Structure 1
Amino acid sequence: MSNTNANFEMTGILLGQEVRKRKTPQEKIAIIQQTMEPGMNVSHVARLHGIQPSLLFKWKKQYQEGSLTAVAAGEEVVPASELTAALKQVRELQRLLGKKTMEVEILKEAVEYGQSRKWIAHAPLLPKDGE
């Protein structure tokens, strides 16, 4: 058994295996921005940072979709799909608010017009104080 462990350790040393390090969103964005510099391409930048070009392409796609963002400490992370749904709901609510605002303005104008023409009586349906 100890011979197997020794072989494994020796193999790790010979192959130069190292522990994978997860990149933070800030690091990923910095690496992606390097690919956008003149004279740099994805393969070269990937080699410089010891990552696979396919992984860098994946990060770049996430960055373009907006799902790869650097967040400050303590900020809540929200999936891109939830953000998209929330933005859609905000647009719908803004549309409804605009519609209701127009309706209120139209009704105000109608009341003013009716009062100026004496078409609307002064509280005809309300009971008098003594009744």
Structure 2
Amino acid sequence: MSARRKGAGLVPEMNVTPLVDVVLVLLIIFMVVTPQLEAGAAVDLPAAANVDKGEENSLTPTTVSLTAQGALFIDKHEVPRTQLVEKLRGVIGKDPQARVVLKADRAVRYAEVRNVFKTLQDAGFPGISLQVIDLKK
């Protein structure tokens, strides 16, 4: 009798290379996609000390972004200034308790941010939050 018939068969080994390949591909995908999931346009936010962490709320706020070039975005859609009030009233019309977050680039003049803030108030939003990053001391 040969050695194979007496129980000296092959020992199975797990090949983890395909598993590692799949995990690395998923990691790369998440690293590329995650920054794009942020609401609104990409702006360089100003820093502030003692940042309010905000309420944990299941409602997703509408994000109004003001870029350094002066472009306005509602969520990720660019809106001409002439149509801003109309679009904001449409949001309020769907949900009178809608929340809004204003993101303005740090390079934008304060007067311009104040004008957009006033426009949000005039549109009828019950409360407006300003998005900033935490100032590292």
TM-score (norm 1): 0.25
More helix by share: 1
Higher relative contact order (CA 8 A, sep 6+): 2
Structure of greater Rg: 1
More strand by share: 2
TM-score (norm 2): 0.24
